[in-house]
Structure 1
Amino acid sequence: MASSLLVEDLTCSVCLSIFTDPVTLQCGHSFCRWCAGEVLAVQPRCPQCCQAVVTEAQDLPSSFILKSLAEKARGDWSLQTDRAQAADLCPEHEEKLKLFCITDQQLTCIICRDSEKHERHKFKPIKEADAALRKELETFLQNVSGDISAVEGLADRQREEISKSRKKSENLMTQISNQFREMHQFLTRREKQIENELKQKQEDEMKRMDESLRAVETVLCENRELQVKVNSALEIKDSESFLKSWTEDENRKAKRASFRPRAKELRVENTSFSLWPYESHLQFFVWKEMLEIIQPRAERLSLSNNSGQTVISNIGRSLIWDHAKDRSESAQRLQNANYNAGYSNSYSSINRQHNYVAPAISGQAFSSSQFTSGQHYWEVDVGSADCWKLGINKYFLDYDGQRYAVCDQGRNRNITISNTPQKFGFYLNCSSQQLSFYDADNMTHIDTVDLMPHSVPTSAYFHFQDRDANHGPLTVCWY
């Protein structure tokens, strides 16, 4: 690296060769004396920085330091050339390199082949080694080229997937914006409707109370007018004048004759208008109204294919214990226990004497409809059930009363849920082959499992296993 930098620094920028009798101009740039003379004869300026030169080339002093360095660099260059020419000779035996040691992967001479250093090594003539290596490299190059083509194909597919992902993201963004806009429009419309209803009720209420106020004020005005007239008559002290004044005023006499207390006939109209549930349950009632415009809704599943000690409710939404069947099996277990023990004691006595524990009661069911394609979401209310499994066949959320686990093809993986939800949501995406679990009480994601190929068509799966028949039921939420 130092030699290459030295040669570059000692090269004339005009002839591009190592300096010959170098001279230095006033600006500090150096050139061969002959090159400087040729350039300055045409234009008296430095070829590099274009600064004016007032001295003739033959009068410029020689740069002895550059001259010495240039001669040394020229000698090193010659030595390197000689070494390059001698590279075809064995550096150890100075014989021509005619063989290729396959073991050491290097060129050798004939003497090297017989030396102890290369004992038992394999050799080939240079031309044969050249042909063999070229063939290997050509095969290797084909492999590299093939891999490049495959990688380019992967890159193209990845770019295509990136493009698809961006497009899908844009479409989803548009879809989400449209759906939120529909909800906003619905809420804005309902807000206006409820506000108008409130205004109309307020106007009707104010009209009714205004009419009552006008009636009260009319009676009040008439009574005050009569009061003034009576007071003015009473102010007359002379008896003759008083009687004459009162008897001659027919209008006053008529009003006195027709007067009756009106206070008990009048009443204050209290405010009574109401928006009913909108006053206290506005959000809930509007949410219920909003369910009518939501598409798609949660699946309204019905259960079937029941087995075990459970039955399905009449409307097909709940999985509950079959108490009659449970009592029958309990009686049979009691009879077997009596027979085996040789006692005629009661069931409780046998339990006490033999520590008899009733086995866990269990049952399962599937949804009557199958999921074959698309996306599906349903919710299940677990109520007071302590032990259950919910999801689809072979993929479900498992709760044993203490811990939650995700079951994936028979493999259980424990998970942590911060609270104890009563409602769980299940989102099945048949396209991406995934099943996700949600806390439906606050709509937070719990976990997602990848389904094995050909997992659909499938059905929703419900399973009970408990010792307390009073627990449950499991109920599909319908909205």
Structure 2
Amino acid sequence: MASLSEYDFSCPVCHEIFKNPILLSCSHSFCKECLQQFWRTKKTQECPVCRRRSSKHYPPVNLALKNLCESFLKERNERRSSGSEEICSLHSEKLKLFCLEDKQLVCVVCMNSQKHVNHTFRPIDEVIPSYKEELNTALKSLQKKLKHNERMKGEFEKTVEHIKSQAEHTERQIKQQFEKLHQFLRDEEEATITALREEEEQKKQMMKEKLEEMNRHISALSHTIKDTEEMMKASDVCFLKEFPVSMERVQISSQPDPQTPSGALIHVPRYLGNLPFRVWKKMQDIVQNKEGESEGEINGAGIESEGEEGTGSDGSEEALDRARIGAADEEGEQISTEEIDMWTEETSDREGVLMTGSGPTSAQGPTPPRRNPKRNRHPPIKLSLESQVVKLESDLQKIERGRKVWLKAKNKRSSRALHAP
């Protein structure tokens, strides 16, 4: 038993002495409570070490290991609680002094040896208070770190729930936008949601790994604190004998405080930013093929054919597109698409103009697509080239007004944010 260390009796999950150890089919042993808690977080019953799936739902108790752990704990407690004075292994004298330079117990003969020339010695009872105070200070620091880690664990758990909530909320928004499109867009909806789910699983897996790391860190700190507290209660000789090792262990455990990892949350704009416009661009070739059958007519499709990419240098088309999907400022506020659509419809009614299809591309640039609830209800209307040019000029004016409305709303929102308490 003396040749075995505490590591040989430590659970790989909690890093403490085994409590009611159970044996898996892969020959790895764990505390019963640790394994059950690990399995509750997994979909399959696998080994925490080798990831091999367990063939039994209720693994047997490892009686041999359980008895060894109990004997080890009993022997360790007896050794620590013993008040007998230690004997010098070199001179068979009682250890009565403490060398301040080497930080070890010595006997009277050791004090006069060549090894301790010009060293300073103190009686054991004189050095005990100062070293206990030093270790107690380090212990308090570890206790604060443990509390901080527990708080961070709670924050990580909340982050996991927030990621799930974000994913659900984003999925609802994606579905709401895809419902406004043609059945052709269902494939795009499925592809976008799949990408979202992959990122959700990636981010959740990242946070789960952080939580597992945090659990291991907390277990290690708890174990160090527990052992240090037990050593504080031991006899003076035993305390001083184990003090250097314990102090080194405490200092090793004092690692930097964990922080919430960057990029942990789902990048929502990746899925919602300009979504209708991006999908519309993918549909453009199909729409143009249909428009080729009735060139020069307004066919009620609600999408106007676009010329060479990059036309319209004034940026008004991009402004209307941003206004349609809602632009998010730094605080995450949005201009609702319903407000922009309502403004567009009111402007069209006021001017007596209703876009119902697409005409030939003019030199002044393409017109963004409009959703028309009355599509295909009226027969196509022949438009002369002159009337089409007039209509395009009118549309460009409406786009510019839409851009001004959007900029005004954004500036108003920024002003409120600056004056907010």
TM-score (ref. length: structure 2): 0.28
When Rg is computed on C-alpha atoms for both structures, the one with the higher figure is 1
TM-score (ref. length: structure 1): 0.25
Greater helix proportion = 2
Greater strand proportion = 1
